């Protein structure tokens, strides 16, 4: 994405963590078995029995501690416990949760081998991501990097005339330092990092960009933007006829071209290089065939006006969000992505995926729900200081899924897998 100059220094500071940014090469480099042994696979893989479930729970509890809610041993939370997460409660919706891994991530914030919980009712999904995770891990892991982290609110103001609107817009631009101070008095963790002004005849839109800390940030930026608007209304040289705290220009809960270029959430990229032998042995196809199918899907996406082009990133985002207590409606923006699959000069396969709108967090919101807390704990992503790590794991997961689905398309296994795993009770005539 194009990065405004005023954000470049802050991004560099966060990426370097006070060290030489050249150290990124070492952090993101592949790590193979001889450097770091691959941990064991998920036990009883592919087995659908209560005994297999218990084996997997026991395995994860040895890594992450007790999982009473995911395993169903603890009682459901009370209505009082869920105040702030639900109104007019009648019960709980149960979605089965599976585990993918190990998935090796070589990121600036996420380093290691992860077992990733996914909540879904789609048969074949966990199996597909498991295959992709295995291939990525055997290739030395996914190199992952989170760069821009920002969430927007876009207040809108209506005036009687265009002249009044332009007067307000010109005045507001000169008030940025004061606006930033007002916004940051309303939040302990967020920071206003940028403001863009968009006049449209007698309307003025202010797009406020906030660094959200480790929260997903939607409520945080709403409260801060409301405080900004109230302050502006008290001091403005020209009073608007009416205003709203969100003018539908922030990209909240929808895929937009502006967010795709500019980031709403956490902009995270993952890449991996798969050797020819790895592609042929584990994906049962070739780098040539994968790159051909990718090119066809790219052209198809362009013809349909897709914002970004990917295979099924929404599957990764939705299942991970459900498991980890994220705002699932944000899948509409978080799943906008761009993937590439290209042959290298050596005949291997280079794969990458960029998710510019990963709006997720490790504190607040649904992260306090019992099963979400346990899922985030399995990932080592519960609490402060872990949101960028969570984003890098999400990007590595999406990368694994893109590899697996395109390979399945290449070999004709896509329909077969859904028949075998998604409808095991239904025999093919």
For 104-155, the pLDDT digits (tens) are 999 999 999 999 999 999 989 999 999 999 999 999 999 999 999 999 999 9
Residues 290 and 348: their CA atoms lie apart, in Å, by: 11
Task: Locate 320 and state its tokens.
Answer: 């991970």
pLDDT of residue 2: 59
pLDDT of residue 171: 97
Task: Locate 277 and state its tokens.
Answer: 């032998």
Catalytic residue from among 149, 327, 392, 402: 327
Residues 216 and 258: their CA atoms lie apart, in Å, by: 19
Residue 178 known to be catalytic: no
Give the model confidence (pLDDT) of 158-196 as tens digits: 999 999 999 999 999 999 999 999 999 998 888 999 999
H or E segment at 78? none
Q: How many residues does the chain have?
A: 429
pLDDT band at residue 14 under the 50/70/90 scheme: low
Q: If you average pLDDT over residues 321-339, what whole number do you get? A: 96
Is residue 327 helix, strand or coil?
Answer: coil
pLDDT band at residue 15 under the 50/70/90 scheme: low
Residue with the two structure tokens 């919101």: 365
Residue with the two structure tokens 């074949």: 124
* Helix residue ranges per DSSP H, 352-386: 370-379
Residue 418 known to be catalytic: yes
pLDDT of residue 34: 82
pLDDT of residue 86: 94
Lowest mean pLDDT among 132-136, 225-229, 418-422: 418-422
Lowest mean pLDDT among 237-251, 254-268, 309-323: 254-268
Residues 42 and 131: their CA atoms lie apart, in Å, by: 12
H or E segment at 51? helix 50-64
Lowest mean pLDDT among 234-243, 309-318, 413-422: 413-422
Catalytic residue from among 10, 61, 122, 342: 122
pLDDT of residue 188: 81
Residues 114 and 171: their CA atoms lie apart, in Å, by: 50
pLDDT band at residue 12 under the 50/70/90 scheme: low
Q: How far is CA 418 from CA 95, 125, 128, 203, 312, in A?
A: 19, 9, 10, 50, 14
Contact yes or no for 205/134 (Cβ under 8 A): no
* 241 pLDDT higher than 70: yes
Instruction: Return the biggest CA–CA distance within the chain.
Output: 76
Residues 83 and 81: their CA atoms lie apart, in Å, by: 6
pLDDT band at residue 428 under the 50/70/90 scheme: very low
Contact yes or no for 105/137 (Cβ under 8 A): no
**pLDDT, mean over the chain:** 92
> The pTM is what?
0.93
Residue 327 known to be catalytic: yes
- Relative to beta strand 97-107, strand 142-153 is parallel
């Amino acid at each position: 994405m194009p990065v405004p100059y005023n954000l470049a220094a802050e991004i560099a500071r966060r990426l370097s963590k006070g060290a030489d940014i050249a150290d990124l090469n070492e952090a993101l480099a592949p790590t193979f078995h001889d450097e770091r042994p691959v941990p064991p696979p998920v036990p009883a893989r592919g087995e659908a029995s209560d005994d297999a479930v218990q084996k997997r729970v026991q395995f994860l509890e040895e890594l992450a501690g007790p999982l009473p809610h995911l395993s169903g041993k603890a009682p459901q939370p009370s209505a009082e416990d869920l105040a702030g997460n639900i109104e007019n409660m009648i019960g709980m919706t149960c979605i089965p949760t599976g585990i993918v891994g190990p998935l090796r991530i070589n990121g600036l914030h996420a380093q290691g081998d992860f077992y990733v919980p996914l909540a879904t009712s789609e048969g074949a999904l966990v199996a597909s991501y498991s295959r992709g995770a295995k291939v990525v891990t055997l290739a030395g892991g996914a190199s992952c990097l989170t760069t821009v982290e920002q969430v927007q609110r876009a207040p809108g103001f209506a005036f009687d005339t265009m002249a009044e609107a332009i007067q307000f817009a010109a005045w507001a631009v000169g008030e940025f330092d004061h606006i930033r101070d007002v916004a940051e008095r309303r939040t302990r963790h967020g920071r206003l990092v940028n403001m863009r002004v968009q006049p449209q005849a007698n309307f003025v839109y202010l797009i406020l960009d906030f660094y959200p800390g480790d929260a997903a940030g939607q409520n945080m930026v709403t409260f801060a933007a409301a405080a900004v608007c109230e302050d502006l209304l008290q001091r403005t040289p020209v009073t608007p006829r009416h205003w709203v705290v969100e003018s539908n220009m922030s990209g909240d809960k929808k895929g937009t071209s502006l967010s795709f270029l500019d980031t709403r959430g956490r902009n995270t990229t993952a890449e991996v290089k798969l050797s020819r032998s790895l592609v042929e042995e584990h994906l049962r196809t070739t780098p040539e065939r994968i790159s051909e199918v990718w090119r066809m899907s790219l052209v198809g996406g362009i013809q349909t006006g897709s914002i970004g082009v990917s295979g099924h990133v929404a599957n990764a985002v939705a299942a991970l969000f459900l498991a980890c207590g994220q705002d699932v409606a944000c899948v509409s923006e978080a799943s906008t992505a761009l993937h590439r699959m290209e042959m290298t000069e050596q005949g291997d396969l280079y794969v990458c995926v960029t998710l510019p709108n990963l709006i997720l967090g490790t504190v607040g919101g649904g992260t306090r729900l019992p099963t979400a807390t346990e899922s985030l704990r399995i990932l080592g992503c519960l609490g402060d200081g872990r949101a960028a790590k969570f984003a890098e794991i999400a990007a590595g997961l999406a990368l694994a899924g893109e590899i697996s689905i395109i390979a399945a398309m290449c070999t004709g296994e896509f329909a077969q897998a859904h028949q075998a795993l998604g409808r095991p009770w239904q025999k093919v005539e």
